[in-house]
A = this chain, B = another copy of it.
Amino acid sequence: MLLTFEPVLDRIAEEIADLTERGRPADYIPALASGDPQDFGMAVAELDGTVYGVGDWQRPFSTQSVTKVFTLALALARKGEPLWDHVGREPSGNPFNSLVQLEYENGIPRNPFINAGALVVTDQLHRMTGDASGVLLDFLRAESGNQDLDFDRDVAASETAHGDRNAALAHFMASYDNIANPVPTLLREYFRQCSVEASCADLARATGFLARHGIRADGSRLLTRSQAKQVNAVMLTCGTYDAAGDFAYRVGLPGKSGVGGAIIAVVPGRCTLCVWSPGLDERGNSVAGVTALDRFTTITGLSVF
């Protein structure tokens, strides 16, 4: 390869250091509210797993909604096309936990990355495996090569204590027969997944299978080439809450954000990225994170468009 990522990352980190408006951390649970918007880390993983990083790229943080990508891939690998009977793949056009569209569309969530959709995907994965959160954790450990990855039980407990909206979503979909497990069981599995602690390095590596068209770190296949394309497409159109259009416009890569401040992104056939900074914009995406990815694609030309 001709392009070397290290100087690119250094240049981005310098520019981010000058960024004065950095947003505010999520404040609905204590573990997130203590985040410092000045913190910043970024990692790029080559297809072979080699990782380059800058800043706090090896420091663990709360992955939150970023794990929805892995849960989707694990459920899609097991269930295939029939998964889409339970969840759509259209952008939401509404804030990420909206009940409105869910009602108009009879309990079928618009896509797997809004909370309602992620609950449905978790529900399906748990129904097939009996251990949705365990299957996810095993996968993340294997792909990242980091056996120390784990749930943060305090975060999961905090989420549960503030979980009335997700409980409402789950009961609402259950009223349309779109939930197979008991709601408390589903919520436990769901909040555990949100609570996984990982670093930029871990997540950049774990995302690699989407740049390798479905091939896992050990060379086995998780998704067909077509399914890998599909997951990337859903990330591009639905991965950043109500800002997917703007993210595609600015960054031009499939990406998925979480309220912990992380964003993962994929350059199909080339590399994967993870950036983290806890300050969020009003739509729930990391301010420094989106800026860093915008700079990355502008500097390298590595956009899908």
A residues lining the B interface (CB < 8 Å): 88-94, 98-103, 110-111, 164-165, 167-172, 174-175, 183, 226, 228-230, 232-234, 236-238, 242-246, 248-249, 252, 254, 268, 298, 303-305
Between-chain CB contacts (< 8 Å), 26 pairs:
A88-B245, A89-B245, A90-B244, A90-B245, A91-B237, A91-B244, A93-B94, A99-B172, A164-B172, A164-B175, A165-B171, A167-B183, A226-B298, A228-B305, A229-B252, A232-B252, A233-B249, A234-B245, A236-B237, A237-B237, A237-B245, A237-B249, A238-B245, A254-B305, A268-B304, A268-B305
Knowing A168-B172, A237-B237, A249-B233, say if A91 contacts B89 (CB, 8 Å).
no
Choose among B89, B171, B238, B244 the residue that contacts A167 (Cβ–Cβ < 8 A): B171
Knowing A93-B92, A98-B103, say if A244 contacts B237 (CB, 8 Å).
yes
- Closest Cβ of chain B to A17, distance in Å, is 23
Q: Is the CB of A111 within 8 A of B245?
A: yes
- Closest Cβ of chain B to A227, distance in Å, is 10
Chain B residues with CB under 8 Å of A90's CB are: 91, 93, 242-246
Q: What DSSP secondary structure best describes chain A's contact surface?
A: helix
A101, A168, A243, A268 interface centre (most CB from chain B within 10 Å): A168
- Closest Cβ of chain B to A244, distance in Å, is 6
Q: Is the CB of B230 within 8 A of A249?
A: yes
Measured between alpha carbons, how far is A193 from B244 in the docked complex, in Å? 29
Measured between alpha carbons, how far is A93 from B100 in the docked complex, in Å? 12
- Closest Cβ of chain B to A178, distance in Å, is 10
Measured between alpha carbons, how far is A16 from B223 in the docked complex, in Å? 28
Measured between alpha carbons, how far is A246 from B171 in the docked complex, in Å? 27
Q: Which 7 residue pairs are nearest across A and B when measured between Cβ atoms?
A: A93-B93, A91-B91, A164-B175, A90-B245, A168-B172, A232-B305, A168-B171
Chain B residues with CB under 8 Å of A236's CB are: 236-237, 248, 305
Measured between alpha carbons, how far is A242 from B89 in the docked complex, in Å? 11
- Closest Cβ of chain B to A290, distance in Å, is 14
Measured between alpha carbons, how far is A268 from B252 in the docked complex, in Å? 12
Q: Is the CB of B101 within 8 A of A99?
A: no
Chain B residues with CB under 8 Å of A238's CB are: 245
A88, A169, A233 interface centre (most CB from chain B within 10 Å): A233
Q: Is the CB of B111 within 8 A of A103?
A: no
